[in-house]
Amino acid sequence: MVHAFSDADHLPNRRPDGQPASPERLPRQRRGVTPQMHGRYPDFDAMSQQEHWDDATRTMVVSRVDQVPPIRFFTKDEAIALGILLDLALAQDREPRVPVLALVDAKLLEGKLDGFQHDDMPPDPETWRQVAAGLDATAVQHGFEAFRVAPTGVQEQIVGAFAAGELHGRVWDELPCAKAWGVVMRGALSEFYSHPWAWNEIGFGGPAYPRGYAVLGPGGREPWEGEGALDVDPVTDVRERGLE
């Protein structure tokens, strides 16, 4: 049975184990692809709108789905460690997955960086490599040869400490943990939400060029955008239930 999601009990900070809710509590995707094939917009597929995009836009978006780049920047061991990190951080625990690591790898290989960095941090490509080394070093502190061979529970504990900025020793004595987490999540989320499967999950219609958007104002929805399985205005809902 599909969960109503009117309450916030599905959010990690409200759950006893602190873990994300199972995607199976959302409707099964019936059209298009979403991560793990569940989402709030089960009958929406952003790729169905590609005939309305110009050639350059269509080529760019379609390539994100059909031309997943190989891993060329990270070493094999780095890729395994970082792949586990990203799957846990993004709650992608089954296929289909948005290929975030491959997209990040391509960006770093091509030197397409964000144009800024913390003054006490190395450049982003080096930060990613040091994070991979730091994850392995922390796994050793827990008694395991490497992050990739640690049990899932230990991996989750390490990622949680990373997110909280609480990793220490070896790599982390030189690399500011909280800032490193910010660099990694900035890169990961940018690539995740650039992918059409993530658009399907959140009901985003994708590029509206050259057609454009015509429906303006809060709550407006174009006729070609996805309709959610649960159509509740969160602001109104919170007020009506006296939760402000």
What are the residue ranges spanned by the domains of the chain? Answer: 27-228
How much of the chain exceeds pLDDT 90, in percent? 63
Q: Tell whether the model's pLDDT for residue 1 goes beyond 50.
A: no
Q: Tell whether the model's pLDDT for residue 13 goes beyond 70.
A: no
pLDDT band of 212, cuts 50, 70, 90: confident
Of the candidates 46, 37, 106, the one whose C-alpha atom is nearest the C-alpha of residue 70 is 106
* Helix-then-strand count for the chain, H and E: 9, 0
Q: Tell whether the model's pLDDT for residue 216 goes beyond 80.
A: no
Q: C-alpha distances in angstroms, 103 versus 33, 87, 162, 197, 206?
A: 18, 14, 22, 14, 18
Structure token digits, residue 191: 């690539």
Q: Kindly report the number of other CB atoms within 10 A of residue 190's CB atom.
A: 14
Q: What is the pLDDT of residues 178-194, one digit of tens each?
A: 999 999 999 999 999 99
Q: How far apart are CA 242 and CA 131, in angstroms?
A: 43
Of the candidates 21, 3, 24, 4, the one whose C-alpha atom is nearest the C-alpha of residue 12 is 21
Residue type at 133 in one-letter notation: A
pTM of the model: 0.85
pLDDT band of 137, cuts 50, 70, 90: very high
Q: Tell whether the model's pLDDT for residue 26 goes beyond 80.
A: no
Q: What is the pLDDT of residues 138-154, one digit of tens each?
A: 999 999 999 999 999 99
